Structures are given as structure tokens and as C-alpha cells.
Amino acid sequence: MHTETIVRHGKKFVVVAEGDFNKLVRDARMLADVHAYDAARARIERGEDELLPASIILRRLDGESPVKVWREHRGLTQEQLAAAADVSRALVAAIETGRKEGSMSSLKKLAAALGCELGNLA
């Protein structure tokens, strides 16, 4: 790669061919992607994050209740989730069917019992 240094208004600049510049930009983006991937893998290995099956994502995109999707993903019945979250089974059912939204307090308890972020239940 051929470079040239110029000085403008007391600042040094390096001039490179446009093709070389575009390659540097692509390489920098690739390196950023590699760092993001490594950071994500490290979070997964530390148990701070998890991979979700595509079926979970598709069900959410189809508009299914996030509480129901997460509950079934965790292999829990409504009764088991209700007991773990210290809420009633009727409340779990009402949230899953859309009859109730659930209070912030209830949703926090459900998220904790499901081992997911509160935002995943929104």
C-alpha cells in the first residue's frame, strides 16, 4: 500500500488510494464484528446470555405471548411458573391470553422465575 503524508494547517494527513482506503474500512468493520462475536461468546460461556432457538423468535414475531413462549421454552407448566414467581396461576393464564397485561411487579417476578430479562416479556 502506497501512502503519502501531507500537512494542512499544521495537521498531518496520510493519503492512500481509494481502493486501499475502502479495504481498510472493510477490514476495520470485520474486526469490529469479530470482537462483537467474541464478546457474545464470552457472555454465553459465563452464563450471562443464551442462544435461543429460531422457533422462539418466530413465535414472538407471530405475536404469541412472551410469557407463554418463555414458559414453554423453559419446560414449565403455568402452575410451576406461578409457584416459582409467587403469583397466581390465574394471573399467568390471563397474561398469556392477553386478558391482562400484568403489573410491573408481577412481570419482574415472572422474568426472574423464567431466567430472562424483563424486556423479553414486553
* pLDDT digits 0-9 by tens, 62-104: 999 999 999 999 999 999 999 999 999 999 999 999 999 999 9
Instruction: Decide which of 28 and 122 is more confident.
Output: 28
Residues 5-19 have pLDDT tens digits of 999 999 999 999 999
Q: Please report the pLDDT score of residue 49 as a whole number.
A: 87
CA gyration radius, the chain: 25
Q: Which pLDDT score is estimated for 11?
A: 96
Q: What is the distance in angstroms between the CA of the first residue and the CA of the last residue of the chain?
A: 51
Phi, psi of 23 (to 5 degrees): -65, -40
- What Å distances lie between residue 28 and 36, 38, 40, CA to CA? 12, 15, 18
